[in-house]
A and B are shown apart, each in its own frame.
Chain A
Amino acid sequence: MRLGVLWALFIASAKMFVRNRAAVFFSLFLPLIIMLIFGVLNFEGSTSIELGIVDEAQNDASAALVERLGDYDYLVISEGERDAELAALEDGDRGYVIAIPADWAPPAPGSESGLVAYASNADPAQAQVGQGLLQQAVGQALFAPAGGGTDEGSGFAAPLQFESVESRDLGYIDFLVPGIVGMTIMQLGLFGVAFGFVQLKRTGALRRLFATPTSPAYFLSAQVLSRLIIGIVQVAILFGVGIWFGLQMFGDYLSLLVIVLIGSAIFLAVGFAIAGWAKNEDQAAPVANLVSLPMMFLSGVFFPRDAMPDFLASITQFMPLTYVNEALRAVVNEGAGLLSLGPQLLGMGVWVVITFVLAVVMFRWE
């Protein structure tokens, strides 16, 4: 191992990247511009209330109540187990959770509703408005006779006693930044490597290196190292801008770094597989796009994957960028440590192996 050679090639590789305006634009400024646009647009303005319902009674009366609540357009209802729903409340995915206890029966008008309600304490101003709307909806739903008609006045003025739950107030920027970070390391790996390398291959600049006694493996290592460092710098810039926009970082930066490095390894390997196979940029471009575009829109970069149809969600959950984004969000939004990210790390690990084998099989120097 000659460190001087590696260093010289690393510096050369970094200089080449920084001086290549197209590469800098697509891998650094484009994600930044996308982030600024989405950050300014701010998709938070909706008036809907995210309500989690825990139906432990599982009887006709509780089912009827849930069904009637479903008629309110401003309620976005998810049903689930108590623990899961409360965890979602803490994570800021729900504004409120209503639990219907196992022994619940429809109350007589004027008596206690018997429901247990939890409210996020994250945004007090918004919580007050939401609680008012929710009291009204639940009051009407409890009172309504079977068969509909909810507008005859409420027998329950305030049926819910809210219990405040310590939770995080997550805005769209908190969702967006980890997604953009994931997208950026994907673009950097795919395009940063595929295009630069294929160009060197096509023009013969790479062959010129073979005329020297230095093993081409040094050049490959230097390329990988420089891309990793550039990737880390980019993530730092995106984070800086994100924090300026109000991003909250709940996790530790070491976990973030580890995930960024593993994610970069996956996409660098894909980049080298494409660059190794392609003879020129015209061959590399469509393949790189074929890999990156589906993930950009289906791996939850800009919008939550919850909104997807089930069949699509069940396929796209296995995409490498999905694992990376999930892990990044767990660290940034929930403060998760690496140890609690087993499934995501396993998914990424499998992809590292797959893409590495792919790169070794497909790679050709000439």
Chain B
Amino acid sequence: MTASSSVEPRAGAPASTIISVRDLRKRYGQLTAVDGVSFDVAEGEVFGILGPNGAGKTTTLEMIEGMRPIDEGSARIDGIDVRRDPREVKRRIGIQLQSSAFFDELTLVELLHLFGQLYGRDVDPQALLGLIELTDKAKSQVRTLSGGQKQRFSIASALVNDPRVLFLDEPTTGLDPQARRHMWGVIRRIRGEGRTVVLTTHYMEEAEELCDRVAIMDGGRIIALDTPQALVDALIGRGFRKERVERLANLEDVFIDMTGHDLREDD
């Protein structure tokens, strides 16, 4: 199946295309990591890229962000050609990398000010920390944060330049169920501010929760691209039925019911 270039209008606002990717390719020697990927993302959309490890999700993301050279094809963000002007693109986007490492000896407030300077902006650290609910850790050094807190902080650091598009590479990998749900709340809030979000994930449930549309990648290609509901409907339309009787709850529902939605101290 070829990638769809049609964009679904979102209710209320007329959707305009903010990301446009055409025939993107990346080769490492014999291996073609990304093999002709094309898609569009509408402004305000949450767009998910799904796929098994090695499918080319991160490479695709990094080429669009200007973090990795594009071998072939093109990517435009907000009208800017990434190949031609990666720095202008970086000015307009926020990036959360898969490994959320920072300068360990600096405090959260110091880091947010520093990142602001890298964009030539003065930032309001308290507002950013409020968004990710880390206000009480403002004066702590990064090395004292837990994995989930680091992941949330890396989202705050990606927002210092008030970006129109936010890229999140596996934002919830390695988090416990509470921290994951908390992260979903953060992402919805960011979407609520009118920003476009592109994320990769291994969790289908997360994609269903958050994404307006998803692209499924395998072997460097997009093999499906649509809304989660449309993809499910299409599968059922092909005659697919789950063998098990549908349960009204699953183990995660039990876990959350018994341990609550609240984040834990050490998270």
Contact = CB atoms under 8 A, between A and B. Distances in A.
B91 A5 contact: no
B110 interface: yes
A204 B62 CA distance: 14
A9 B110 CA distance: 11
B184 interface: no
A236 interface: no
B91 A205 contact: no
A4 interface: yes
B118 A209 contact: yes
Contacts of A203: 99, 101
Contact of B114 (A12, A19, A200): A12
Of listed B65, B91, B103, B113, residue having the most chain A CB within 10 A:
B103
A208 B141 contact: no
Given A15-B110, A208-B157, A200 B103 contact: yes
B27 interface: no
Contacts of B99: 203-204, 207
Given A19-B141, A213-B88, A12 B103 contact: yes
A8 interface: yes
Q: Which of A4, A12, A19, A208 has the most CB of B within 10 A?
A: A208
Given A211-B65, A212-B90, A205 B118 contact: no
Interface in A261-300: none
B88 A211 contact: no
Nearest to A20: B105
Given A19-B141, A208-B101, A9 B90 contact: no
Nearest to A21: B105
B118 A213 contact: yes
Interface string B96-131: 010111111110001001110111100000000000
A2 B120 contact: yes
B76 to A, nearest CB: 17
B87 interface: yes
Contacts of A209: 118
B154 to A, nearest CB: 8
B105 A15 contact: yes
Given A211-B65, A213-B88, A19 B97 contact: no
A20 B157 CA distance: 22
A16 B90 CA distance: 26
Interface string A11-35: 0100110011000000000000000
Nearest to A16: B105
A211 B101 contact: no
Contacts of B97: 204, 207-208, 211
A211 B67 contact: yes
Contacts of B118: 5, 8, 209, 212-214
Contact of A213 (B90, B106, B157, B158): B90
Contacts of A214: 118-119
Contacts of B114: 8-9, 12
Nearest to A23: B105
Contacts of A253: none
Interface residues of A, number: 22
A365 to B, nearest CB: 11
Interface residues of B, number: 29
A182 to B, nearest CB: 28
A8 to B, nearest CB: 4
Interface in A202-236: 203-205, 207-214
B65 A8 contact: no
B95 interface: yes
B173 to A, nearest CB: 14
Contacts of A16: 103-106
B120 A5 contact: yes
A12 B110 contact: yes
A281 to B, nearest CB: 14
A211 B95 contact: yes
Interface string A41-78: 00000000000000000000000000000000000000
B243 to A, nearest CB: 42
Contacts of B104: 16, 205
Given A8-B117, A211-B67, A211-B97, A205 B103 contact: yes
A200 B115 CA distance: 16
Contact of B90 (A4, A5, A200, A211): A211
Contacts of B101: 200, 203-205, 208
Interface in B51-109: 65, 67, 87-88, 90-91, 95, 97, 99-106
Contacts of B90: 211-213
A200 B101 CA distance: 8
Nearest to B141: A19
Contacts of A207: 67, 97, 99
A19 B120 CA distance: 26
Contacts of B105: 15-16, 19-20
Contacts of B115: 212
A206 to B, nearest CB: 9
Nearest to A17: B105
A4 B110 CA distance: 15
Given A19-B105, A19-B141, A207-B97, A213 B87 contact: yes
Given A8-B117, A211-B158, 9 more contacts: A5-B118, A8-B118, A12-B103, A204-B99, A204-B100, A204-B101, A208-B157, A212-B90, A213-B118
Interface of A: 2, 4-5, 8-9, 12, 15-16, 19-20, 200, 203-205, 207-214
5 contacts: A16-B103, A16-B105, A208-B102, A209-B118, A213-B119
